[in-house]
Amino acid sequence: MLAQEACPDCGAREFFLHREKGEAICRGCGCVIEDAMVDLGRDTRSFEDDSSPGENSRTGAPFDPRIANNLATTIGSREDFSKLSGKSRAVMTRLKKKNSWASTSFEHSLNHAMDFLRMISGRLGLPSMAEKEAAIIYRRAAERGLTLKRSKEDIVVGSLFVACKMHGLPRSMKELAKEAKADLKILGKTYKLLLRELDIRIMPTNPVDYVSKFANALSLSPKTQTQSIKLIEKMGKEGLLSGLSPLSVAASALYLSCLSESERRTQKEIATAAGITEATLRARCRRLARQLKIKYKIR
């Protein structure tokens, strides 16, 4: 039904489904299109009086975009095969191998990509909602043929970065490139390709999202964090954030707040936590101090 509808505010046709709340939200402007959706997930209610707890399910598991084929048959695991005798193990291994031949090349490729996605997501400690969103984005990209002439790993990492942006998770492109051992320039091009080809609209990242992350890494007090957020909000009201990296803005606001709250943190410590250079931090701090008329000498 949603595929035939458009957002009444911005006209976009891309929606995010929040299954727990039963809401459909426009990806373009955040407008709630539907707030009383029917849950089509797994039904665990039983209508039989003598049913055991293990027989309550009347349907299968809900759709998981991280699984290539949700209806595929799985024949045992290594732990199961280890309990069998030699002859039975050989038969079951042969059956499992023949069963894998029934999968299409698209499913094989998707399985490899989803394994890589789960590995990178686990390294970064991303929540399952972002992982599932990245899996949906990758599936759409694969169906559009974007993976034919490009590295599947780059598309996976690009999809994860887009998902982090959608859910407001403070993860930089450099962070993802480092964990996935991907080229930063190629990842940037892949990210722009996904936004363009899949018609995804993302709001610019707010530097406030990075403040708590950097402050926790530096063990800064809540008072310093609050002061940093106030500086960033003041910059936003005066229109000073346009064209600036959110990482450098968050780092410079934290450094100036450390000076005002007398919390000793070196430029090197803050630059390392933010993943920027000390020269960039100094330049951004000088500009911020000049624009907001803060009387601190940045050396």
Amino acid 155: pLDDT: 92
Collapse the DSSP code of 296 into the 3-class scheme (helix H, G, I; strand E, B; otherwise coil) and give the result: coil
Q: Would you say the pTM of this structure is higher than 0.75?
A: no
- 48-75 per-position pLDDT tens digit: 544 444 445 545 556 677 776 655 566 6
Q: What is the DSSP letter of 173?
A: H
Give a yes or no: residue 13 inside a domain.
yes
Q: For residue 226, is it within any domain?
A: yes
DSSP-derived 3-state class of residue 57:
coil
Q: 82 and 112 share a domain?
A: no
| Nearest residue to 160 via CA among 190, 197, 186 | 190
Residue 6 contacts residue 13 (beta carbons within 8 Å): yes
Residues composing the chain = 299
- The pLDDT tens digits for 6-24 are 777 777 777 777 666 677 7
Q: pLDDT tens, 165-187?
A: 888 888 888 889 888 888 989 99
pLDDT band at residue 247 using 50, 70 and 90 as cut-offs: confident
Considering the domain architecture, whether residues 277 and 212 belong to the same structural domain is answered as yes
β-sheet bridge partners, residue 17? 24
The 3-state DSSP class for residue 177 equals helix
The verdict on residue 54 lying in a domain is no
Domain CATH code at residue 254: 1.10.472.10
251, part of any domain: yes
Distances in whole angstroms, Cα of residue 18 to Cα of each of 28, 169, 170: 15, 17, 21
How far apart, in whole angstroms, are the C-alpha atoms of residue 18 and residue 24?
6
- Is 214 found in the same domain as 171? no
Q: Which residues form the domain of 88?
A: 74-103
Residue 56 near residue 44 (C-beta atoms within 8 A)? yes
Both 117 and 191 in one domain: the answer is yes
Is 48 a member of any domain? Answer: no
Number of domains in the chain: 4
For the chain, give the percent of residues with pLDDT over 70: 79
Check residue 242 and give its pLDDT.
79
**Residue 62 resides in a domain:** no
